[in-house]
Chains A and B, each alone.
Chain A
């Protein structure tokens, strides 16, 4: 635990030591608000909830989380610091968790800074704050899943741009896997259970459930399993490719 925390602290310092952190936070807060008001018709709906706000998180994460994750390992490999890090008395898992938590905490901070939305909706009406809390939690879990994918992809390359594009594409496939666009590709030849399985991987479907206030345990388990799976893959990738 101690080692994980030391690495998390260093990584957080690295985020806030560069303009990246502030740009990210400002853009994230501004865009979530803008989408909620202009695209989500926050006012026109006349309902005291944050559904139009949460609805667009998935699209923002699609763009912004890979941007946060791309540097996690690609930068270490490019600058050679991976050799320093991996010859310190820590395990690969500790290094991966330390970095992952730092990025996740960072996104959590950005997410927490959208609190004016919550204040606004509480002033305007009497929303169900339990639903809003679940929504935030679901959003945070979804960001974690995006991040785990991005971290794993980042370890595959020295090039941050490649890491970004590949991670964003992979995340997009996960987001869209419930849509006809993706499913129609599999329907003609894949057995029905496989199509169903792919559809159930959809980020949107799981997130919709949570945002609507259904605290659906399977959806949380889905995000947690995705995080665990991709971080596990991340360990293998780092161990195999650290020298390349």
Chain B
């Protein structure tokens, strides 16, 4: 795998605020890295450093093996960047804007037209090429930003909240575009929408207050949740005690929690020992004892919960 983005111990402060604190990252060709974190965690600042917009206070970053501070032009030439909110020159038409980007990226004549045509087709901008960017809807404006970022078919694509504020159809379109391009690029996508990580990312890095707090696949993150692989079953309130007792007796189950549930039912949650899969054990037990259940499912550990758990660890200290 070709390593396309490398960041070594990046730090950046704004006054007293340490926006990025000792962040190291590696992204290879074919990877889609989800950059997660609450608002203000330092996602955008990290991306601005990687794209050469900001200089880090310490540490270094390389894109396509070009140091972004030492060789900014070469590094910038091989990356496409969609800044937060997809800023564009509002007084230009979509076509004029893309022509400007193509020219500044060094394309002329037929190559320029071909690049623009391909970017326009991939982002579905055909209908609005003659329109001023100021007059476009949010979704189209974002697509113009995307077209601008992918115009030169960059090896590295960095997008800051590409789906933020879009409707579900537009989100789907953007995600599909990312998935389609994923194979031969290194892509970094920042987001605070967790479904996105599951939908498009091969890996997720969670940052909080400038530091990396988790790094792994979406499944790795889910595994950090205590409920991961727990089995929840809903039974009649009258039989709850008996069922709970039977479940507790299983060697693979650590303990059973009782959760209140409506309509005279009780929900029981069987927690596995060491996060192992216990669904088959539980199912066998229920069959053996002929217990009828209203509902039964395996808890995956919601990414939202994981996210909240690892990024709000010291809310109580008052500076979160």
Chain A residues in contact with chain B, CB under 8 A?
2-3, 6-7, 9-10, 13-14, 17-18, 79-81, 83-84, 86-91, 242-243
Decide: B48 and A6 in contact? CB cutoff 8 A.
Answer: no
Interface presence of B140 (CB below 8 A): no
Chain B interface residue number, banded: 20 to 34
Shortest Cβ distance from A8 into chain B, in angstroms? 11
Of B72, B73, B88, B105, the residue contacting A81 (CB under 8 A) is B88
Q: Who on chain A is nearest to B77 by CB?
A: A89
Interface residues of B (CB under 8 A from A): 48, 51-54, 72-74, 76-77, 79, 81, 83-85, 87-92, 96, 100-101, 103-106, 148
Known: A6-B103, A89-B105, A242-B53. A84 touches B83 (CB 8 A): yes
With A13-B92, A17-B91, A242-B53 known to touch, is A91 a contact of B73 (CB < 8 Å)?
A: yes
A10 neighbours in B (Cβ, 8 Å): 89, 92, 100
Is the beta-carbon distance between B104 and A81 smaller than 8 angstroms? no
A87–B91 CB distance below 8 A = no
Complex-state Cα separation, A9 to B91, whole angstroms: 14
CA distance A13 to B89 in the complex (A): 11
B160 (CB) vs chain A CBs: closest residue = A83
Q: B residues within 8 A CB of A88?
A: 76, 101, 104-105
Give every chain A residue within 8 A of B101 (Cβ-Cβ): 88
When distances are taken between beta carbons in the complex, the residues of chain B under 8 Å from A2 are 106
Once the chains bind, are B48 and A81 in contact (CB under 8 Å)?
no
Contacts of B84 in A (CB 8 A): 80
CA distance A88 to B79 in the complex (A): 9
In the complex, the answer to whether A87 meets B53 with C-beta atoms within 8 Å is yes
Inter-subunit contact A81/B76 (CB<8 Å)? no
Contact in complex: A243, B48 (CB < 8 Å): yes
Q: Which residues of B contact A13 (CB under 8 A)?
A: 92, 96
- Contact B88–A84 (Cβ < 8 Å): yes
Chain B residues whose C-beta falls within 8 Å of the C-beta of A91 in the assembled complex: 72-73
Closest 9 A/B residue pairs (Cβ): A80-B87, A89-B77, A89-B76, A83-B83, A87-B51, A6-B103, A81-B87, A89-B73, A87-B81
